[in-house]
Amino acid sequence: MQDPNFFTSVLEVTRLIPAGRVSTFGAIGAYLGAKRSSRMVGYALKAAIHVTPPVPAHRVVNRQGLLSGKHHFGGDVMQNLLEKEGVEIENNQVKNFDQLFWDPTKELL
DNA sequence: GAGGTGACGACCC
DNA sequence: TGGGTCGCCACCT
């Protein structure tokens, strides 16, 4: 928000995701008014792992509820973090995704 | 300085 | 209904 960069805005919104919930690239992009820039959201999250303060990038998955960036976390770290927060994962996909889905456009608004 | 890539999503055919 | 292509902006080579 303070930073006009779309990149930083993604990190800000991602940080607002409550534990036990998951969000999507499209939801964050839509909240920022750039749903077309979903690729940028994923790119921002990639850097979010190396940025401070720590961003719960593991709570962000793709539109299918699939842990797209699991490989970037290093093995099953992403899945482990989600399970630790109460999010059930099966086949690299979030179970009850529709229920756990956290939409900033609605929840955060 | 320019070109290509990238945790995706939506639109078009 | 399904497959293919374009778009978006920042970072890396």
Token representation of residue A17: 């995701």
Contact between the CB of A39 and strand C at under 7 Å? yes
Q: What is the mean pLDDT of each run of 10 residues along chain A (109 residues)?
A: 72 94 94 86 91 92 92 91 95 93 89
Contact A55, A93 (CB under 8 A): no
Contact between the CB of A35 and strand B at under 7 Å? yes
* CB-proximal positions of chain B, under 7 Å: 6-10
Question: What pLDDT, on the 0 to 100 scale, is given for residue A1?
Answer: 46
b/e map of A4-38 (b: 16 or more CB within 10 Å)?
Answer: eebbebbbebbeebeeebbbbbebbbbbbeeeebb
Q: How many other CB atoms sit within 10 Å of the CB of residue A46? A: 13
Question: What pLDDT, on the 0 to 100 scale, is given for residue A55?
Answer: 93
Question: What pLDDT, on the 0 to 100 scale, is given for residue A27?
Answer: 94
Question: What pLDDT, on the 0 to 100 scale, is given for residue A34?
Answer: 80
Contact between the CB of A49 and strand C at under 7 Å? no
- Confirm whether pTM is higher than 0.85: yes
